[in-house]
Amino acid sequence: MTAADHPPAGRQPAAIRSALTVLEQVARAGPGVTARELSAALGMSPATTYRLVNLLVAEEYLVRLPDLRGFALGRKVVELAGAVARTAVPAAAADAVGELRSRVRLAVHLASLEHGRLRMLDPDPDHPPSPDAVLTRHLHASALGKLLLAERSDWHALLPVADPAGATPLRQLTARTVGRPDVLAGELGRVRGEQVARQYGELRADRGCLAMPVRDPAGALVAGLAVSGSPERVAALAPAVVRLVERCARDIARLLHRPATG
C-alpha cells in the first residue's frame, strides 16, 4: 500500500475542512476579501488564516488580486465549476467559445441568463470571473447583469431600489459604478437598443467587460457571451473584434437549440 492509499491522519481532516471553509467564505464575500476579514468572519486565528490562504494560493484555488489588497477564487475552482456546468453545454457550443478565446486573446465567459438568474456555464479557466453570487448581488455593475436587467420592465425588482427613479442609491463597488437608478435606467435603454452591454471598471476597478445576448428561436434571452480584460482594453476593442463576439453569440444560439438527431 502506497502513501496515496492511506487516508489523512491526525489533524489533516480538520485542516482540510478549514481550507474548504476559507474557500466558501471567499465565494460568499467576493473578490477583494482580505485575510484579516476572513479571519474575523470565520473566527480563525490570523496565523492559521494566513497559512491556509497562502496554501490555497500556491495550489491555485485562490488568486491574489493584482493590487495585493485581497483574494478571489482561483483557476482550479473555476475549472471544477466549469466541468460541472459544461455538461449542460453542447460540445459544439463549447468549441465555439474556445475558438473565440483563441482569436480575441481576452477572457471569454458564457453565462446562462434564464429565469432572471445569472449563472456561469463556461467560465474562462485562465481568467476566472467574479463568483456567480457576486454577479447576482450586483447586476447593475456587470455587463452580463445589464443584459439581464435590460430584458425586464421591472428590472428594479432585481435590485435594492424601490423604483427606477427612486432615491435609494445603488451600491457603488468602484468609483465608476453607476449609483443612481435613473442613470442606470437610461443605460439599460441603450442596451436594449444596441443589443450589447458594457462596463468599464464598475464591478472591479481592474476589469472591463462587453457582453452580447444569446437568444432562443423565439427571441427570448437565454444566455450572455462576454469578453473581459482591462477597462482600457475593452473600451478600445476594434469593431472587427466586436463583430467576432456578435457572430459567436449567434452561432452559440443556434448550437444551444439545435434539434436532437437520431
Q: Which fold has domain 77-256?
A: Beta-Lactamase (3.30.450)
pLDDT of residue 2: 40
Taking the CA atoms of 34, 201, 75 and 64 in sequence, report the sign of the dihedral they define: negative
pLDDT of residue 13: 76
How far apart, in whole angstroms, are the C-alpha atoms of residue 231 and residue 82?
25
**pLDDT block averages, 10 residues each, the chain of length 262:** 42 80 84 88 92 91 77 76 59 92 93 88 87 84 96 85 63 90 94 97 94 94 95 94 95 77 44
Per-domain residue ranges of the chain:
3-73, 77-256
pLDDT of residue 71: 87
How far apart, in whole angstroms, are the C-alpha atoms of residue 163 and residue 183?
12
pLDDT of residue 79: 65
Its pTM surpasses 0.75: no
Q: Please, are residues 105 and 241 in contact by the beta-carbon 8 Å criterion?
A: no
- CATH no. for 3-73: 1.10.10.10
pLDDT of residue 261: 45
pLDDT of residue 12: 62
